[in-house]
């Protein structure tokens, strides 16, 4: 199953430069990296990134994350994937920009 991480352009450049990341400021504050499933992604974008441009979407195969991945209740009791270790470049299957169109964020096909 794929999970997704959203980075700002600055966060993504730091990830590329370092080959790893402990996440965004919210991740550092909460002690884990927030991920979303395909079904949760649009709500995450609306709630936390409304109107923001220059975002990058990272796709991650959950089966490869080992014991660092936990499914925990969040918004409305839904289980969200949380990563309790640094995200490494080798964890990422693909990346792409998230465009901001007139109807909001567009992520394209998530497969």
CATH (domain of 9): 3.20.170.20
Q: Is residue 110 part of a domain?
A: no
**Six-digit token pair at 45?**
């974008």
Q: Does residue 21 belong to any structural domain of this protein?
A: yes
Query: Residue 8 falls within a domain, yes or no?
Result: yes
Q: Per the structure block, which two tokens stand in for 90?
A: 């080798």
According to DSSP, the residues that pair with 88 across neighbouring strands are 20
pTM: 0.92
Dist CA 55 CA 14 (whole Å):
13
| pLDDT tens profile 16-58 | 999 999 999 999 999 999 999 999 999 999 999 988 899 999 9
User: How far, in Å, CA of 3 to CA of 39, rounded?
Assistant: 10
Residue 64 lies in a domain: yes
Q: Is residue 70 part of a domain?
A: yes
Domains: count for the chain:
1
User: Is the residue at 111 inside a domain?
Assistant: no
Domain range for 56: 2-105
End-to-end CA distance of the chain: 10
């Amino acid at each position: 199953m794929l999970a997704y991480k959203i980075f700002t352009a600055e966060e993504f450049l730091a990830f590329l430069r370092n080959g790893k990341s402990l996440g965004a400021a919210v991740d550092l504050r909460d002690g884990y990296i927030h991920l979303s499933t395909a079904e949760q992604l649009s709500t995450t974008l609306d709630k936390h990134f409304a109107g923001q441009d220059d975002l990058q979407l990272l796709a991650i195969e959950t089966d490869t994350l080992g014991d660092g991945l936990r499914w925990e209740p969040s918004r409305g009791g839904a289980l969200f994937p949380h990563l309790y270790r640094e995200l490494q470049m080798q964890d990422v299957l693909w990346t792409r920009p998230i465009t901001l169109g007139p109807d909001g964020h567009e992520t394209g096909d998530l497969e």
